[in-house]
Amino acid sequence: MKESIKENLDEILSKLSTTEAKLIAVTKTHPLEKLQTLYDLGFKVFGENRVQELTEKYEKLPKDIEWHLIGTLQTNKTKYIAPFISMIHSVESFKLLKEINKRAKQNERVIECLLQMHIAEEDTKFGLDEKELYEILESEELKTFENIKLVGLMGMATFTENENQVRSEFKKLKSLFDKVKANFNTENITFRELSMGMSGDYPIAIEEGATLVRIGSAIFGSR
């Protein structure tokens, strides 16, 4: 098990080494020992999608791990992760952003956030559309949030074999990212991260400008 995790990690890191993209190892559903294996190999950037699992793992593992939340966050659970979370990829509402700011302030921290966009053709309920994105970015109240930083966008492509479709969805997200980056630059909006690409589609995401890829099964095997 250890050997294959090492091989998989090395292979992915070597593919990324010639690009701008950084790896987030998606550790959801995997037991602590596998996370510890990655840690012992020197890799310490982990992504989880559920608050309870994330906080349990945080408590049991070394404190120099950089944790990313990549799944839906219910407003009332923000307080549990605010003391330690590095980045929240899945912000989908102004209300949530306001709560993250409040909890970050209580912890005397600044939490980096990505706005999750709906780019897939699939009719999921996840992610903002463009209009909702601009409503958040243009909000006057946002300017008063001193304990969050909006650093980019996140998106998930349609789950399909059709590479052209996946590519065109990533292209759309990248062009939106570039537009926001060029037009919004305030105290707490500084775009630099584009989180897109998972085990099945990360090579395409990198070609289309991803700066963060979220990879689970290609490291650990299928869940």
Q: Which stretch binds ligand PLP (CB under 6 A): 95-103, 164-172, 176-184, 211-219?
A: 211-219
Q: Does 198 bind ligand PLP (CB under 6 A)?
A: yes
CB of 48 to ligand PLP, least distance (A): 9
- Does 71 sit near ligand PLP (CB under 6 A)? yes
The answer to whether the CB of 59 falls within 8 A of the CB of 67 is no
In whole angstroms, how close is the CB of 105 to ligand PLP at the nearest point? 27
C-beta closer to ligand PLP: residue 55 or 188: 55
Residue 116 pairs in a beta bridge with 154
Minimum distance of ligand PLP from residue 73's CB (angstroms): 12
Q: In angstroms, give the least distance from the CB of 53 to ligand PLP.
A: 12
Question: What HEC string does the chain produce?
Answer: CHHHHHHHHHHHHHHHCCCCCEEEEECCCCCHHHHHHHHHCCCCEEEECCHHHHHHHHHHCCCCCEEEECCCCCHHHHHHHCCCCCEEEEECCHHHHHHHHHHHHHCCCCEEEEEEECCCCCCCCCCECHHHHHHHHCCCHHHHCCCEEEEEEEECCCCCCCHHHHHHHHHHHHHHHHHHHHHCCECCEEEEEEECCCCCCHHHHHHCCCCEEEECHHHHCCC
Token look-up 């292209």 returns 171
User: Cβ of residue 212: shortest distance to ligand PLP, in angstroms?
Assistant: 10
Q: Which amino acid is at 174?
A: K
Site string for ligand PLP, 14-53 (x = CB under 6 A): ------------x-x--------------------x----
Q: Choose one: 30-38, 102-110, 175-183, 197-205; the region binding ligand PLP (CB under 6 A).
A: 197-205
Check binding of 70 to ligand PLP (CB under 6 A): yes
Q: What sign does the dihedral 127-193-50-139 (CA atoms) show?
A: negative
Q: Which stretch binds ligand PLP (CB under 6 A): 53-61, 80-88, 179-187, 212-220?
A: 212-220
In whole angstroms, the minimum distance from the beta carbon of 214 to ligand PLP comes to 4
- When the beta carbons of 209 and 216 are compared against ligand PLP, the nearer one is 216
Positions touching ligand PLP (CB under 6 A) are: 26, 28, 49, 70-71, 156, 198-200, 214-218
